[in-house]
Structure 1
Amino acid sequence: MNISTLHTRYKKIYAANVLRFFRVKIQFVQWRMRHGFKLMTLCLLAAALFTVLLTPHLQRMTGDYFSHEDNFAALRSLLGGTGAALIGAAAIAFSLIVFAMQTNVERMPHGLFTQLSSDKRLLSSFLGSFLSAIAVAGMSLIPDGSWGVPAIVAAIWGITLIVLLFLFAYRRALQLINPIEQLAIMSMTAQQDLQRWSRLADNAALLLAELLPSPIVAAGAELPLNTAKAKFYKINSNWNNKARQAIPYAISYAKRFAEQGDYEVTDHAFLHLKLINTAYCEAKHGTFAGSNPLFDIHGTTDGFINTSLEQLRQTMKAALAKGDERLAESTLRAIGGLYEVYLEIDYRGPNKSKHHALIASSYMVSAVKTIIPHNMPDLMMEGIRLMGRASRIALDHTSPTEIISIAQAIATLSYIGAANPSHQPVTLTAFEQLADLTYDLLIKGKHDIHDPILQLRSAVTEAAKMFLNTPDTPLSSMHRSTLGPYFSCTSGSSFRGKFTLLVKQLLGAPVEDAHASEIIDNIETWAEQIYIPQKELLLIAIDKRSSFTFDAIDWVIGVAQMLNELSNAPACSEHAQDKLRTHAVWLVSTLSWLPDERESVIFTQNHNLSEGLFEAALDGYRQNFLAFYEACKELLMGWAKKGGKYETGWGVLETTVEALIALAIEEGTPEAMATLKIKLRQMLASEGAPSLEIRTRAATNLVDNANKLRRASGFWSIDRTLARQDNVTVREALIEMAGIINVEQP
C-alpha cells in the first residue's frame, strides 16, 4: 500500500468523522432546544438534593466554630451586608433592564407597548430576585451558631437564584426588545383570546340550544348552521376585539420595519396575521353561512376578514407609492396566505361557495393589476405565480368554476408582454401558470368541468393570439420560448410534456381505478372542439411567419396521437373511447386549413409537415385507429396537391407520394395500392393540381429514388420505412406512381 493510497484513505476517514461530528452536534442542539429547560430543572433539583444531604456533614466539619461570639457576629454581619447589597443590586439591575426595554419598544403601538412594558414574567423575575435578596439579608437574624451552616447554604442558594433570575430577566428583556418576539407574543395573546371565546361559545351554545328550535337533520345530511353559537357571538359583539386590534399592529410592524430594510420582521408580521385569521376562522367554525346569489343572507359578510384584506390592500398601495418591491411582494404573499386560510372555511347550508376566498382572490388580482403602471416586471411575475398557486390549491377545496376568474386574470396580465417587449418574462410566467393550471384541472377536476375548461382554454388562446401578433426574433424565437410552457414539444416541463407522462400513467392504470377513469373523462371534455383554437393559432403563426408554427403543428399531431392512445386505456369507458378518437380525428384535420399560397406552403414545409403526417398515419394504422389513419392519408393527399403545385425546393409532391406508397405497402393489400392510384389520379385531375412541369420533375425524382433506394439508416422516417419494406415492391410502386404523375390528366 503506497503513501497516496494511505493519504486518500485518511482524507476519507477524516471527512466521515467531520460529518459525523457535525451531525451529532446538530442533533444535540435540536435536543437541547426541545429539552433544555427540563435538563436545567433536573440539574437544579439534583443540586438542591445534594446540598440537603451534604448539610449535616458540613455541620460536623465546622464543629463549634460559630459558637464563638466573634465568629457568629461576623457571620451575621456578612449575611446582612450581602443581603442589603443584593437588594440594591436587584433594584438597580431591574431599573436598567426595564428602562432599556421601554426605550427600545417606545415606537410600537400604544396597546402593545402597555402589554409588553408590564410583562408578567419580567416583573415576576424582579419580585423573585428582590424577595431572594431579602431572604439572604434575613439569614442574619439566626438565633445562634448552630444555624450557621444552614444559613450559609441558604444564602448561597439565594445568591444563585438571584443570578439565575438576573439572567432570565436579561434574556426576557432581549426577547421583548426583539420585534419578532413582540409579534409572537401579540399573536399568541390574540389566538389564546379567540380560543377562550370559542370555548365559551361552545359552552353557551349547549345552553342556548335548549331555548332555540333545533332543525331536524336527516341521517347523512349536512350539518346546519350553528345558530346558538352565532347568536352568542352576536350578543357579545366585542368578542374578537383583541384579534381585531392585533391586525393593524401587525401591519404597523410590517410597514415600519420595511422602511428600515428589515424584511424578515415584515414577513413575520404577515405570518402572524395569517395565524390570527386561522384562529379566528377556527373560533367561528360552524357559524359561516353560505352565500346566495339571489338575495343577501345575514352573516355572510364578515368584518374581521374584510378588515384584514383591506389593511393589506392599503399596505400594497403604500408599498407601490414608495417603490418598495420587497414590501409589495410580501404583501402579495400575505394575501395569498389568507386566501389559503379562507379556503378551509366550512360553510353551512346548500351553497358551499368559498365566497370569502373569492373576495381574497379579487384583492389579489386587483393588487397585481395595480403593479402595471409602476414598471416592476419581477414583482408582476411573482404576483402571477402566487395567483397560479392559489388557483391550483383551490382545486382541492372548491369547485373548478371558482378559479376561472383568477385564470382569466392571469391571461389578461400576459397581454403586457405584447404591449411592452421588456415585460416578455411576465407573459412567459403567465403561460407557465396557465399550463400548470390546465394540467391540475385535468387531474383534480370533479364532476362536470366543461365550462371551466372551456373558459380556461379560451383564455389561453386569446393570450397566445395576442402575443403572436408581436414581432418574432429570428434566431432564438421569442414566440416559441414564451408560449413554450403550454405548447412546446421539446420541453419535459411543458404542458405537452407532462400530458404525455400522464397518458402513459393512465395506460397502466387498472380498469377499476375510478380516479383514472375520472381523469380520462376530464381529458375528453378538454379535447372537445379543441381543434377550433388550434386552427386559429396555427393560421396566425403561419401568417406571421412565426417559428411557433413548428410547435403548433407538432402539438396538433402529438396531442391527437395521445388522445388515440388514451382511448385504449383499461380505465377508459366505451363512451369516452369513441369521443377521444373522434376528437383526435378532428384535431389532426385542422391541418387541412393550411393556406394555399406559395410563401405559406414553403414556410410550412420547412417544419416537416409531410414527415409529421406520415408518422401519425403510420402510428394510427399500427394501433388500429383506422378513422385517424384515413384522415391522415387524406391530409397527405391534400398536402400533395396544395404544397406540390409550388416549386419549394423540398419536393413536396414526390415526398408525399412516397409517404402514401409506404402506407399502402404497409397495409399489404392490392386494394390499398389500387385505391391510392385512383385517388392520386383524381387529385391530379382536380382544379388547382400541380402543373405538368412540376409533375414531370417529381416523376423524375421518384424514378431516381426507385433506382437507388436509401438504406434503413436514412434520416427521414419515410425513407427508413421504404428501406425496410420489400425493395422490389417499393421500386415497382415508385415507378408506377411516377408514370401516373407524369401523364397529363384529362
Structure 2
Amino acid sequence: MTMQKLCDRLRKAYATNALRFYQAEIRFDHYRLRHGLKLAMLVLLAAMLSCVFAMPFLQRVTGGYFSKEESLATLKTLLGGTGTALIGAATIAFSLVVFAMQINVERMPHGLFKQLSSDRKLLGSFLGSFLTALVVAGTSLIPDGSWAIPAIVTAIWGIAAIGLLFLYAYRRALQLINPIEQLAIMSKVVRRDLRRWNRLADKAALLLEEAQQPSIVDDDTEIHFNAPKAHFYEVNAHWTKSAGQAIHYAISYAKRFAEQGDYEVTDHAFERIMLINATYCAAKNGTFVGTIPFFEMSGTTDGFINASLEQLRQTMQAALAKGDERLAEGTLRAMGGLYGVYLKIEYPGRDRSKYHALLASGYMGSAVESVIPHNMPDLMMEGIRLMGRASRLALDHTRPTEIVSVVQKIATLSYVGVLRANHQPVTLTAFEQLAEVTYDLLAKGKHDIRFPIRKLRSAVTDAAKLFLETPDTSPGSMHHNTLGPYFSSTSISSVRGRLTSLVNQLLKAPADNARAGEIIRNIETWADQLYEPQKELLLLAVQKRSSFTFDAVTWAVGISELLNALSNAPACSQYLKEKLRKHAIWLVSTLSWLPDDNDSVNFAEAYSLTENLFEAASDGYRRDCLEFYESCKALLIAWAKKGGRHETGWGILETSVEGLAALAIGEGTPEAATALKTRFRQMLVSEGAPPAEVRARAAAHLARSANQLRHLDALRSIDRTLAQQDHFAVRALLLEMADILAVEPPAHQRPNNGEPE
C-alpha cells in the first residue's frame, strides 16, 4: 500500500468519525432539550440519596471529633457566619438584579412594566435563596455533636441551592430584559387568561343547561349557536381587556424596535399578535355570528378583531410614511397570518361564509394598494404573494366564491406595471399568483366553481390585454416574460405545465375515484367559454406584433391537447367527455380568426403556426378524437389558403400540403388521400385561393420534396413524421398534390387584359 492511499484512508476515516461525532452531539442536544429537566432532577435525586446513605459512614469517619465542646463551638460559629453571609449576599444580589432589570425595562408600556417588575419566578427565587440562607444559619443551633454531620451536609446543600438560585435569577433577569422574551411572557399570560375565560364560559353554559358545544363538522352538518356562552361574554364584556392591551403592547414593540433596526423583535411581535388572535377565536368558538345576504345580523362585528386589524392598518400607514419597507412587509405578513386565523372560525348555520377572513383580506388588499404611491415594487410583490397564498389557503376552508375579491384585487394591482416601467416585476408576480390560484381552484375547488372561474378568467384577460398595450422589447420579450407565468407552454410552473402533471395523474385514477371526477368537472367548467378570451388575446398580440403570439398559439394548441387527453380518463363520464372534446375544438378554432393580411400572416407563421396545427391534428388522431382531428385538418387547409395568398417566404402553402399529406398517409386508407385531394381542389377553386405564381412555386417545391430523403432527427415535426412513413406512399401523394397545385388557375383568377369574357 502506497503512502498516498494510506493518507486517503486516514482522511476518510477521520471524516467518517467526525461526522458520527457530530451526529451524536446533535442527538444529545435534542435529548437534552426534550428531557433536560428530567435528567437534572434524576441527578439531583441521586446525589441527595447518596448523601443520606453516606451519613452513617461519615459519622464513623469523624468519630468523636465534634463531641468536643471546642470543635462543636467552632462548627457552630462557621455555620452561623456562613448563613449570615448568605443572607446578606442574597439581599444584595437580588437588589442589584432587580435594579438592573428595571433600568432595562423602564421604557416599556406601563402595564407590561408593572407585570414584569413583579415577576413571580424572579421574586420566588429571591425568597427561596433567602429562606435557604436562614436554614443554613439555623444549622448553627445544633444541640450536640451527633447533629454535626447532618448540619454540615445541609449547609453544603443550602450553599449549592443558593448558588443555583442566583444563577437562575440572573438568567431570568436576562430573559425579562430581552424584548422577545418579554413578548413571549406577555403572550403566555394573556393566552392563559383567555383560556380561563373560555372555561368559565363553558361552565356557565352548562349551569344554564342550554350549552351546545360547537365542533368541526362536515359540510352537510349545521353548526349551532352557543347562546349561553355568548350571553356570558356579553355580560362580562371586559374579558378581552388584557388581550386588547397585549395587542397594543405588541404593536408598540414592533414600531419601537423597527426604528432601532431590530426587525427580529418586530417580526416576533407580529407573531404574538397572531397567536393571541388564534387563542381568542378558540375561546369564542361557537359564538361568532356570520352574515346573511340582504339581512343585517346583530353581533356580526367583533370589536377585538376590528381593533387588531385597525392597529395593523395604522402600523402600515406609519411604516409607509417613514419609508420603512421592512416594517411594512412585516405588517403585511401579520395581516396574512390573521387571515389564516380567521379562516378557521366556524359560524352557525349552513352558510359558511368567512366574514372576518373577508374583512382581513380587505385590509390586506387596501394595505398593498396603499404602497403604490411610495415606489416600493419589492414590497408590492411580497404583498401580492401574500394575497395569492391567502386565496389558495381559503380553498381549504371555505367556498371558492370567497376568493373572488382577493383575485380581482391581485389583477388590479398588476396594472401598476403598465403605468410604471420599473414595476414590471409586480405584474409578473401578479400573474404568477393568478396561475397558482387557477391551478388550486381546479384541483381543490368543490361544488360549483362557475362564478369564481368566470371572474378569475375575466380578471386575467383584462390584466393581460392591458399589459399587451405596452411596448414589447426585443430580443428579451417583456410581454412573453411577464405573461409567461400564466400562458407559457415551456414553463413547468405555468398553468399548462401544472395542468399537464395533473392530467397525467388523472389518467391513472380508477373509474370509481370520486375526487378525480370532481377535478375533471372543474377543468370542464374552466374550459367552457375559454375560447372567447383566448381569441381576444391572440388577435391583440398579433395586432401589436407581440412575441406573446407564440404563447397564445401554443397555449391554445396545448390546452386543447390536454382536454382531449383528459376526455379519455377512466374517471371521466360520457357527458364530460363530450363537453371536453367540444371545448377543445372551440379553443383550437380560435386560430382561424387570425387576420389574412400579408404582415399578420407573415408574423403568425414566424411562430410556427403550421407546425402547431399539424401537431394538434396528430395528437387528436392519436387520442381517437376524430372530430377534433377533422377540425384541425380544416384549419390547416384554411391556413394554407390564407397563407398561400402572399409571398411570405415561409412556404406556408407547401408546408401545409406536406402536413396534410402526412396526416392522410397516417390514416392508412386510400379514402383519406382521396378526400384530401378533393378538399384541396375545392379550396383552390374557392374565392381568395392562392394565386397561380404561388401555386406554381409550391408545386415545384413539393416535386423536389417528394424525391428527397428525410431524416428522423429533422427539425420540423412534419418532416420527422414523413420520414417515419412509407417513402413510396409519401412520394406518390406529394407528386399528386403538386400536380393539383400546378394546373391552370380558375377563370376568376386569370388576367383578362381588360377584354370581356
**TM-score, scaled to structure 1:** 0.97
Opposite residue 746 of structure 2, the aligned amino acid is Q
Opposite residue 180 of structure 2, the aligned amino acid is I
- Match status 1:558 vs 2:555: no
1: CA distance, partners of 2:665 / 2:73: 123
1:281-680 equivalences in 2 (<5 Å): 281-680=281-680
Q: Could you give the per-residue CA deviations for residues 180-238 of structure 1, whole angstroms, max 9, x where no partner exists?
A: 111111001111111111111111101123599x9xxxxx8523201011111111111
Number of residue pairs matched by the alignment: 741
2: CA distance, partners of 1:300 / 1:563: 44
Q: CA deviation at 1:101?
A: 0.6
Aligned equivalent of 2:270 = 270
Q: CA deviation at 1:584?
A: 0.4
Opposite residue 188 of structure 2, the aligned amino acid is M
Aligned equivalent of 2:226 = 226
2: CA distance, partners of 1:424 / 1:168: 55
1: CA distance, partners of 2:318 / 2:394: 29
- Match status 1:727 vs 2:727: yes
Q: CA deviation at 1:726?
A: 2.9
2: CA distance, partners of 1:102 / 1:496: 61
Q: Indicate the percent of aligned positions where both proteins have the same amino acid.
A: 66
Greater shift, 42-51 or 317-326, is seen at 42-51
2: CA distance, partners of 1:211 / 1:172: 43
Aligned equivalent of 2:746 = 745
1:69-148 equivalences in 2 (<5 Å): 69-148=69-148
Greater shift, 290-299 or 661-670, is seen at 661-670
Helix, strand or coil for the counterpart of 2:572?
A: coil
Opposite residue 700 of structure 2, the aligned amino acid is T
Q: CA deviation at 1:71?
A: 2.4
**TM-score, scaled to structure 2:** 0.96
Change (3 A) 1:115 1:657: same
Aligned equivalent of 1:689 = 689
2: CA distance, partners of 1:282 / 1:704: 79
Opposite residue 315 of structure 2, the aligned amino acid is T
Opposite residue 321 of structure 2, the aligned amino acid is A
1: CA distance, partners of 2:387 / 2:700: 60
Helix, strand or coil for the counterpart of 1:352?
A: coil
Aligned equivalent of 2:236 = 236
Aligned equivalent of 1:38 = 38
Opposite residue 510 of structure 1, the aligned amino acid is P
Aligned equivalent of 2:750 = none
Point out where structure 1 has 5 or more consecutive residues left out of the alignment.
215-219
Greater shift, 63-72 or 374-383, is seen at 63-72
Instruction: Tell me if structure 2 keeps the 8 A contact 1:681–1:745.
Output: no
Aligned equivalent of 1:217 = none
Q: Could you give the per-residue CA deviations for residues 602-627 of structure 1, whole angstroms, max 9, x where no partner exists?
A: 11111111111111112212322111
2: CA distance, partners of 1:231 / 1:471: 62
Q: CA deviation at 1:547?
A: 1.2
Q: CA deviation at 1:418?
A: 1.5
Instruction: Tell me if structure 1 keeps the 8 A contact 2:506–2:566.
Output: yes
2: CA distance, partners of 1:181 / 1:724: 73
1: CA distance, partners of 2:731 / 2:52: 111
Q: CA deviation at 1:545?
A: 1.2
Opposite residue 177 of structure 1, the aligned amino acid is I
Aligned equivalent of 1:252 = 252
1: CA distance, partners of 2:261 / 2:211: 56
Q: CA deviation at 1:741?
A: 1.7
Change (3 A) 1:714 1:64: closer
Helix, strand or coil for the counterpart of 1:123?
A: helix
2: CA distance, partners of 1:223 / 1:543: 55
Change (3 A) 1:221 1:690: closer
Q: CA deviation at 1:35?
A: 1.6
Aligned equivalent of 2:702 = 702
Instruction: Tell me if structure 2 keeps the 8 A contact 1:506–1:569.
Output: yes
Supply the RMSD in Å over aligned alpha carbons. Answer: 1.7
2: CA distance, partners of 1:664 / 1:61: 112
Helix, strand or coil for the counterpart of 1:240?
A: helix
2: CA distance, partners of 1:296 / 1:107: 45
- Match status 1:56 vs 2:42: no
Opposite residue 657 of structure 1, the aligned amino acid is V
Instruction: Tell me if structure 2 keeps the 8 A contact 1:636–1:656.
Output: yes
Point out where structure 2 has 5 or more consecutive residues left out of the alignment.
215-219, 748-757
2: CA distance, partners of 1:745 / 1:184: 89
Opposite residue 635 of structure 1, the aligned amino acid is L
Opposite residue 124 of structure 2, the aligned amino acid is S
Opposite residue 254 of structure 2, the aligned amino acid is A
Instruction: Tell me if structure 1 keeps the 8 A contact 2:223–2:347.
Output: no
Q: CA deviation at 1:374?
A: 0.8
2: CA distance, partners of 1:584 / 1:267: 49
Q: Could you give the per-residue CA deviations for residues 675-703 of structure 1, whole angstroms, max 9, x where no partner exists?
A: 22232222222222221111111111112
Change (3 A) 1:77 1:722: closer
Instruction: Tell me if structure 2 keeps the 8 A contact 1:524–1:580.
Output: yes
Q: CA deviation at 1:655?
A: 1.1
Change (3 A) 1:210 1:293: closer
Instruction: Tell me if structure 2 keeps the 8 A contact 1:290–1:350.
Output: no
Instruction: Tell me if structure 2 keeps the 8 A contact 1:289–1:349.
Output: no
Q: CA deviation at 1:135?
A: 1.8
Instruction: Tell me if structure 2 keeps the 8 A contact 1:620–1:628.
Output: yes
Opposite residue 281 of structure 1, the aligned amino acid is C
Greater shift, 495-504 or 52-61, is seen at 52-61
Greater shift, 423-432 or 697-706, is seen at 697-706
2: CA distance, partners of 1:163 / 1:224: 57
Opposite residue 339 of structure 2, the aligned amino acid is Y
Q: CA deviation at 1:174?
A: 0.8
1: CA distance, partners of 2:708 / 2:144: 126
2: CA distance, partners of 1:678 / 1:42: 96
2: CA distance, partners of 1:167 / 1:238: 39
Greater shift, 598-607 or 41-50, is seen at 41-50
